Amino acid sequence: MINLGFDIDNVLTLSPKKLGEFINVFFGDKNIKIIIITGRPPKSSDETIEFLKNNKIYFDKIFFHPSDHTVPKLADWKSSICKKEKIDFMFESNPEIAQRIQEQNKEIICFVTLPELKSKEAKY
């Protein structure tokens, strides 16, 4: 079993329909669990789950951050969920959080998205 962790904002929201297709084609019906770990508060759960359903982003579990947060507290919380859920690969938008997750869970490989590059034209 491989467990994949995904942040929502600036990860799944970058191109949700394409990411939904990617996740379902490459990871659907396989021995892989999709676990969403978001800093969004529980009060946004209905809206968030509706967004995921509308974009056909299927998941096995979702965790909402239980309170207001600063980056260090959010990083520690996400790290603890990664450990508890035995995440193998984490897709995160915040480099500071990704670094903290990887420092606290040496066996996890983190991938960091660069949403600010999405709007810039590539210059070669």
Q: What is the pLDDT of residues 37-51, one digit of tens each?
A: 999 999 999 999 999
Q: No. of H helices and E strands in the chain?
A: 5, 5
Segment 20-38 shows an average pLDDT of 82
3-18: pLDDT as tens digits:
999 988 888 887 788 8
Q: What is the pTM of this model?
A: 0.82
pLDDT band of residue 114 (cuts 50, 70, 90) is confident
**Residues constituting the chain:** 124
Does residue 77 surpass a pLDDT of 70? yes
Higher pLDDT, 72 or 103: 103
Task: Return d(Cα 119, Cα 63) in angstroms, integer.
Answer: 29
pLDDT at position 89: 92
Task: Return d(Cα 81, Cα 47) in angstroms, integer.
Answer: 22
Domain 2-114, CATH homologous superfamily name and number: HAD superfamily/HAD-like (3.40.50.1000)
For the chain, give every domain's residue range: 2-114
In the chain, the largest separation of any two C-alpha atoms, in whole Å, equals 44
